Amino acid sequence: MKTNVGTIDRTLRIVIGLTLIGLSLAGVIGVWGWIGLVPLATGLFRFCPAYTLLGIKTCKACSPKP
């Protein structure tokens, strides 16, 4: 797995994931909040399979140098 998630993207994914899981635990949004595990995991591992399929990289360090 090559890193393809940048710092800002990573931070947003972790915050959104934790927020969804927290809302689910609080009973605000129900079971669907556990979908927050997906952005949380992709943020923690700095790898997004969908980005690989689409050829997207938000990580400056992992972009090829000219």
The CA-atom distances, in angstroms, between 31 and each of 11, 15, 25, 66 are: 23, 18, 8, 46
pTM for the whole structure: 0.87
* CB neighbour burial string for 24-41, b if at least 16 within 10 angstroms, e if fewer: beeeebeeebeebeebbe
**Helix 37-45 and helix 7-25, axial crossing angle in degrees, nearest 10:** 150
Q: What is the pLDDT along the chain (66 residues), one digit of tens a residue?
A: 789 999 999 999 999 999 999 999 999 999 999 999 999 999 999 999 999 999 999 988 876 666
Terminal Cα-to-Cα distance of the chain (whole angstroms): 23
